[in-house]
Structure 1
Amino acid sequence: MTAQDRNHGCRISDEWTYRGLRVLVMENDLLRVSILLDKGSDIFEFLYKPLDLDFMWVTPGGVRRQPWLDSYPDPVGPFLDYHEGGWQEVLPNGGRVCEHQGAHFGLHSEVWALPWRHQIVADGADSVSAKLWVRCNRTPFLLEKTLTLQRGEPALEISETVTNESEVELPLMWGHHPAFAPHFVDRHAVIRMPRCEVVSDANVDAASRFDPRQRFPWPIGKARDGREVDLSRLPGIGSGISDMLYLTELEEGWAQIDNSKLGVGFRMDFDLNVFRHCWLYMEFGGNQGFWAWGRQNTVCLEPFSSWPAILPNAAEQGTELRLGPRAHLDAWLRAGVVSL
């Protein structure tokens, strides 16, 4: 289907490029969502029109393509070198570099690094939809998803399917990695979660408030210095913290960040049968070395199938997903704006 020319209601267009990368733009009367087709189907803009509020974080480098050779390739992989912020899909490895069943994965590899194919499947004033799909390079996974906007609804609907195209059973991790902008996750912001347990990462940063593998009920935990920390209340820009946490044993499939000053929140409802946990990464100037250099102020609240980070660890913990030969798994997610 070819996109129609229309300047009202829902709209969709794949005739855009930004800094040399193909872009799909979807919008209705309340939202504009921009997707990098040539880089992982990353959502690099999630703009709420009534407030001119883009929820997505932008790194200092922003969107970049790679027209040069790396002087010294980073073993972590190119995720950090070309990370524009925004929202990535993560499959089949979440987290750091690892090797599993002979396949080597970089950070959050591998679908974020690949160009995706697409097709506009609905283009009307009341609703627009696009189907996007990609095949992994190092693993035999096919990931397909359909993105939809409805007139009058400040939410993006995502329905997706991962298929194992091989003849053997395979493990995987599957998640979504939205990073929120500092003007949204400032001191006026609060994280809301259903009842859950918090576990700190085994490799916490020196600027983390918590000890490795520390466990406590959401949201109150005891910091390294003995004081109580309310994780639901964000510490604010430049507060010097860097926390990596897993929210597990979720009673319901949703997560929300509210900002009382702006009068809106960002809510994600998701398929709890697949995205059984959330990862929570808070970085407010705590990481003074590579790659943040003290400039990073963001919160990542990430629906995820598995924990902890990296596929071998998730498999050891028993939280990985497993797909049999030629099997598939469906999931859904809805992300949007709520008024407070």
Structure 2
Amino acid sequence: MPDLEELVVRGWEVLRLTSDSLVVELVPALGGTVTSLRRRADDLELLWQTPWGLRRRQAIELPGSTEVTRYTNSPGGWHPVFPNGGDGTSVHGAEWGFDGEARVTWLDWRLTGDSLVLQGRLTRSPFELTREVTLRDDQVTVADTVVNVGAEHIDVMWGQQIAFGAGLLGPDTVVHSGCTTVRPDGRLATSASYDDLLPWPRAYGRHGLVNLRGIGDGPETRMAYLCDFADASIRVQRPSAGLSVELQWDEFSWPHVWYELETGARKGFPWYGTGRYLAFTPCSSWPAHGLHDARRVSSTLMRIHEGGERTSYLRVRVQSTG
């Protein structure tokens, strides 16, 4: 069983789980967002953290769009995406914000066996969310269960986003994927459409073809959708750091993965040219531009009927290599 510590960071309750190999920190009041994942041997931080990190609780908030407020309040890291993904949208008489409400839902927690169980109720959609976080030696699993407690069916986008930072990114970083098909992002790759398919690891970028397997060392912004997995796994290796990180997830619920890379090409808010992260979002749906676009472009929304319950997971294994 991992060690559990209760901390207070900038007014937030933060839970720290520690195994022989890893240290995991998460915030129950932010939908159980994992804000830190560190290799214990050398305290190497693996997750991307925003420049402002975990902002002080009840900090003064300026008005803005759902996208602006999403980035303003995001500490980075690993968070749920539900019931909307990407751009904010209005549905069922309410605005579902950028990446959905689950990432900012207050979750109560308890320790059950060797797992941390967090539960809460969304307010803008009729769902209860349960997150079960299990840390065993060199791997951490976050399993999400969503239950429709309303009296009507609801179409949703559902997944988890994990963003890796500088600890995993370098010129020698290599991405291995079990996908066979890559779709471009129609907004970023202006010379391609969503229907322009390529085999892994090729994709259409802002200025032509790119190789998703390598990170490179220049400023770049990428967005693509990985589909048709022969094996629902992604492995990212950085030999110079002696590091290998493997992702596995439930492909039945999350058959698509959003691949996003930012290495300083995005100017203006929110990174002003300093963003540097590699993010993966196993998800029910694509593209990453809100529920209405996912319905229009790909018809990949997930319908959860009244009383319906769905469970899925993302597992991350961190290994040191020679």
Fold shared, TM-score > 0.5 on shorter chain:
yes
The equivalent of 2:157 in structure 1 is 173
Distance 1:284 1:271 in 2: 29
1:10 aligns with 2:19: no
Which amino acid is the alignment partner of residue 131 of structure 1? Answer: V
The Cα offsets for residues 252-291 of structure 1, whole Å up to 9 and x where unpaired, read as: 2111211111122111111111111110111111111111
2:59 matched to 1:39?
A: no
Q: For residues 105 and 52 of structure 1, do their structure 2 counterparts lie closer, same or farther at Cα, with a shift above 3 Å needed? A: same
Kept in 2, the 8 Å contact 1:25–1:34? The answer is yes
**Alignment map for 1:185-204 (pairs within 5 Å):** 185-204=169-188
* Cα deviations by residue, 1:72-104 (Å, 9 ceiling, x for unpaired): 333425211122111111100010111223331
Match of 1:245 among 216, 220, 224: 224
- CA distance in structure 1 between the aligned counterparts of 2:184 and 2:267, rounded to whole angstroms: 20
1:330 aligns with 2:316: no
TM-score under structure 2 length normalisation: 0.92
Give the one of 73, 87, 103 matched to 2:78.
87
Identity %: 26
**Which residue in 1 is equivalent to 2:104?**
113
Q: Is the 8 A contact 1:55 1:180 kept in 2?
A: yes
The answer on whether the counterparts of 1:65 and 1:82 sit within 8 Å (CA) in structure 2 is: no
Note if 1:61 corresponds to 2:52.
yes
Give the conservation status (yes or no) of the 8 Å contact 2:166–2:277.
yes
CA distance in 2, matches of 1:270, 1:250: 11
Indicate the residue corresponding to 1:138 in structure 2: 124
Q: Name the SS for the 2:236 alignment partner.
A: strand
CA apart distance, 1:155: 0.2
1:219 aligns with 2:219: no
The match for 1:313 among 293, 300, 309 is 293
Whether the aligned pair in 1 keeps the contact of 2:181 and 2:226 (CA below 8 Å) is yes
Q: What residue in structure 2 maps to residue 4 of structure 1?
A: none
Give the aligned length. Answer: 318
1:267 counterpart letter in structure 2: E
Per the alignment, residue 256 of structure 1 pairs with 235
Q: Is the 8 A contact 2:24 2:36 kept in 1?
A: yes
On the 8 A contact 2:205/2:222 being kept in 1, the answer is no
TM-aligned CA deviation for residue 36 of structure 1? 0.9
Shift of 1:43: 0.6
Counterpart-to-counterpart distance in 2, 1:183 and 1:159: 25
Displacement, 1:224? 6.0
Q: Structure 2: which 5+ runs fail to align?
A: none
- Which of 152, 158, 161 is the matching residue for 2:145? 161
Task: Compute the TM-score of the two structures, normalised by the length of structure 1.
Answer: 0.88
Q: Distance in 2 between matches of 1:308 and 1:337?
A: 28
Q: 2:140 & 2:207 partners in 1: Cα distance?
A: 41
- Alignment RMSD, CA only? 1.9
Distance 1:94 1:221, change over 3 A: closer
8 A contact 2:147–2:308 mirrored in 1: yes
- Mean alpha-carbon deviation: is it higher for 98-107 or for 243-252? 98-107
Q: C-alpha distance in 2, partners of 1:260/1:87?
A: 23
**Counterparts of 1:195 and 1:167 in 2: how far apart (Å)?**
37
Contact 1:97–1:104 (CA<8 Å) still a contact in 2?
yes
Q: What is the SS of the residue equivalent to 2:240?
A: coil
Q: Render the CA deviation track for 1:217-239: whole Å, top value 9, x for unaligned.
A: 1102465655x522100123xx2
